[in-house]
Chains A and B, each alone.
Chain A
Amino acid sequence: MLLKTLSELNGTSGAEGSVRDFLRQQLKPFVDTLVVDKMGNLIATKNAHLPGPKIMLSAHMDEVALMITDITSDGFLKFQPVGGIDARILVSKPIQMNEALIGVIGSKAIHLQKSSERQKSLTFDQLYIDIGAKCKEEATSKVKLGDYAYFMTKCEPFGEGLYKGKAFDDRVGCALLVELLKQDYAFPLVAAFTVQEEVGLRGAKIAAYHVAPDFAIVLEGTVAADVSDREEDGWVTELGKGPACSLLDRTTLYSPKLIQWVVDIARGKGIPLQFRRGASGGNDAGSIHVSKAGIPTVVLSVPCRYIHSFVSVISEHDYTACFNLVAALLANLPRKLSINPMGEEEL
């Protein structure tokens, strides 16, 4: 299964190589060209010879992880997050580094903590990785500063049509994009598998600039908070209700006309659709929509519970519905799309 393999690959911001290599090999039979740009984005193109509009689909390859920033005299590793990670979720988790090296994130056991310490959650400074090294020299022979540590989570089905796994943000987008590229289209289509989204939408900025598409669709994994301690108005998205169309986040205010186009197509095809009802966070659209003279951009996301953690949860139903919706959008691209609020714009 494509998503399982992608989920279990390790590739954080700036170290997306293994994900990129796997995608290249998967895509080769289905695309005309595969190029890696200076930043590390993988750019796959179909039908470059056909007349426009040129459509760009994008998904980011990087996941959140940890970076080793110090090795202590007794052989423990100190670290900092790459991308947004909640320090409270880290303690007592196994991690993997440099292909085969296993470690455990440690801290003082409950028996040794003062009652005042038990009141407070652990910070990055108090946590460390134990790789079983007896001294600094032994640790240094296996690890160097700047190495990355990844969550170790098998991607598995559970419950009714749910999957658990790490890095669904945004391997779920990568998997969808690979599936979409297996189909034929009558227009130039560029797929950008971007780098460094989690540290500031950096790969997409470069990709959008040199691809210069007429229209972009970003595929993402996003927050689902339909969980026990939240009231309905704080859910952002819900599992099982279909892909989420973004309205507003920290980096983009999505065009109401484009959102209406997505809603109309979903409704017409009977594909479930929900809105992403929260304004926090951001995604590659933030870099893409303001590239050059402006690029109309929409974002569709598969809802993920427990995102940016050791293990997140998605619904296969949402994944399939997201695929169906993007396929329907691509099959129904109007020659003229009134994105421009003042009039019709030639796509």
Chain B
Amino acid sequence: MDFKLLEQLTQLFGPSGSEERVAEFISAQVRPYCDNLTSDTLGNLIVHRHGTGKRIMIAAHMDEIGLMITHINKEGFLRFTPLGGVRIQNLIGQRVQFAQGRIGTIWVEKLDRPTDFKLDKLYLDIGVSSREEAEQFVHIGEPAVFVGNFAESESRIISKALDDRVGCFVAIEALRRTKSTHELAFVFTVQEEIGTRGALTAAYALEPDLAIAVDVTATGDTPKAHPMSVELGKGVGIKVLDHSMVTSPQIKRWMADVAADRKIPFQWEVLEYGGTDSGAIHLSRGGVPSGVLSIPTRYVHSPAEMLDKHDVEAAVELLVVLLESNAEL
């Protein structure tokens, strides 16, 4: 499997609320494989492939975590607020990049006590000496993303924004391969990281019979990790529970039966925090049967997230055959 497309996806600029470049890139990738492309008020990209069966929504979010500038002082230093679940303690020395390419680095004021380490003690230095100079490159309200190159080894990949460009990658690959006869809507959603907001409005508009989100999940396979029986390389995760949803038995059985039938490796995923687009979708209107295919990923929400290529392959295979199954639940 060629992961060049995943590399391109991860390196695009797309913090929550500014997903245009990701949407444009994905549009170009999927155009030959779909019947039409639309986008909605919040900026979701909706890729339709017509069919005669069930209306199935496949959701993967385009946005990545980042920062937003809230203040520029007269020496040209920037203050910021997180966009999504950013871990403050990981930020020192981190490089960030703005839409126009400007790079800066995060540092911290002198602290009297370690407990004084708070967001408002951190600042961003973009290498300028005055407010006027800074304003040539950034303005208040401008978002930035973390810098994190794509590195590929025999079986693993490290990059920023694997959450959730790998979900976009899986959805694109499945769209290319699937011979499904269902009415498919691949939705590349916005604003997942700040509260699954894009999925909420897309699900309302589409009224699907069934939905599958593709997203990353945490693992329990690192030194002294919080106990969680998900490991890199052991297959695609089938979501059982997270903070936003408990998957219905019918969905779990359908996914597991199809995976077992095709000998696709999978693992049950119980995540004790977090949520995905399916959390919003399954509560839309009168309720939508929803499941999640998860890609086990270490160091989620850092500039160096890590996953295993075999798990991505398993996710693509399972999504393809799920969409080709009769989906009678």
**B205 at interface, CB cutoff 8 A:** yes
User: Once the chains bind, are A233 and B23 in contact (CB under 8 Å)?
Assistant: no
User: Once the chains bind, are A341 and B141 in contact (CB under 8 Å)?
Assistant: no
When A248-B141, A253-B16, A277-B71 are in contact, do A293 and B39 touch as well, CB less than 8 Å? Answer: no
Q: B141 to chain A: which residues have CB within 8 Å?
A: 247-248, 256, 259, 275
Quick one: closest B residue to A275, CB to CB? B140
User: Once the chains bind, are A278 and B81 in contact (CB under 8 Å)?
Assistant: yes
Interface size on B, residues (CB 8 A): 34
Quick one: closest A residue to B202, CB to CB? A293
In the assembled complex, the Cα of A312 lies from the Cα of B269 at a distance in Å of: 50
Name the distance in Å between B83's Cβ and chain A's nearest Cβ: 7
**A120 at interface, CB cutoff 8 A:** no
User: Once the chains bind, are B41 and A339 in contact (CB under 8 Å)?
Assistant: yes
When A247-B68, A279-B81 are in contact, do A293 and B40 touch as well, CB less than 8 Å? Answer: yes
User: Once the chains bind, are B120 and A253 in contact (CB under 8 Å)?
Assistant: no
Quick one: closest A residue to B44, CB to CB? A294
User: Once the chains bind, are B81 and A232 in contact (CB under 8 Å)?
Assistant: no
Q: B229 to chain A: which residues have CB within 8 Å?
A: none
Contact with A along B81-95 (1 / 0, CB 8 A): 111000000000000
Q: B19 to chain A: which residues have CB within 8 Å?
A: 341
Cβ-Cβ contact count across A and B, 8 Å cutoff:
84
User: Once the chains bind, are B205 and A279 in contact (CB under 8 Å)?
Assistant: no
**Considering the complex, which residues of chain B in the window 186-214 have a beta carbon less than 8 Å from any beta carbon of chain A?**
191, 194-195, 197, 200-202, 204-205
Contact with B along A198-238 (1 / 0, CB 8 A): 00000000000000000000000000000000001110000
**A264 at interface, CB cutoff 8 A:** no
**A342 at interface, CB cutoff 8 A:** yes
User: Once the chains bind, are B83 and A294 in contact (CB under 8 Å)?
Assistant: no
When A233-B73, A279-B68, A341-B19 are in contact, do A253 and B40 touch as well, CB less than 8 Å? Answer: no
**Considering the complex, which residues of chain B in the window 7-56 have a beta carbon less than 8 Å from any beta carbon of chain A?**
16-20, 23-24, 27, 39-43, 45
User: Once the chains bind, are A294 and B201 in contact (CB under 8 Å)?
Assistant: yes
User: Once the chains bind, are B17 and A256 in contact (CB under 8 Å)?
Assistant: yes
Q: A233 to chain B: which residues have CB within 8 Å?
A: 70-71, 73, 79, 120
In the assembled complex, the Cα of A49 lies from the Cα of B79 at a distance in Å of: 48
Q: A342 to chain B: which residues have CB within 8 Å?
A: 20, 23-24, 27, 39, 43, 45
Tier of interface size on chain A = 20 to 34
Q: B68 to chain A: which residues have CB within 8 Å?
A: 247-248, 279
Quick one: closest A residue to B119, CB to CB? A279
In the assembled complex, the Cα of A321 lies from the Cα of B174 at a distance in Å of: 53
In the assembled complex, the Cα of A342 lies from the Cα of B62 at a distance in Å of: 14
Q: A255 to chain B: which residues have CB within 8 Å?
A: 17, 43
Residue from B17, B195, B204 within 8 A of A292 (CB atoms): B204
User: Once the chains bind, are B70 and A341 in contact (CB under 8 Å)?
Assistant: no
**A296 at interface, CB cutoff 8 A:** yes
Residues of B within 8 A of A (CB): 16-20, 23-24, 27, 39-43, 45, 68, 70-71, 73, 79, 81-83, 120, 140-141, 191, 194-195, 197, 200-202, 204-205
5 nearest CB pairs, A to B:
A294-B201, A294-B41, A342-B39, A293-B205, A279-B81
What are 28 inter-chain pairs, A to B, with CB distance below 8 A? A233-B70, A233-B71, A233-B79, A233-B120, A248-B68, A248-B81, A251-B195, A253-B17, A255-B17, A255-B43, A259-B141, A275-B141, A289-B42, A289-B197, A290-B197, A290-B200, A290-B201, A292-B201, A293-B202, A293-B204, A294-B42, A294-B205, A341-B18, A341-B23, A341-B39, A341-B43, A342-B24, A342-B39
Residues of A within 8 A of B (CB): 232-234, 247-248, 251, 253-256, 259, 275, 277-279, 289-290, 292-296, 339-343, 345
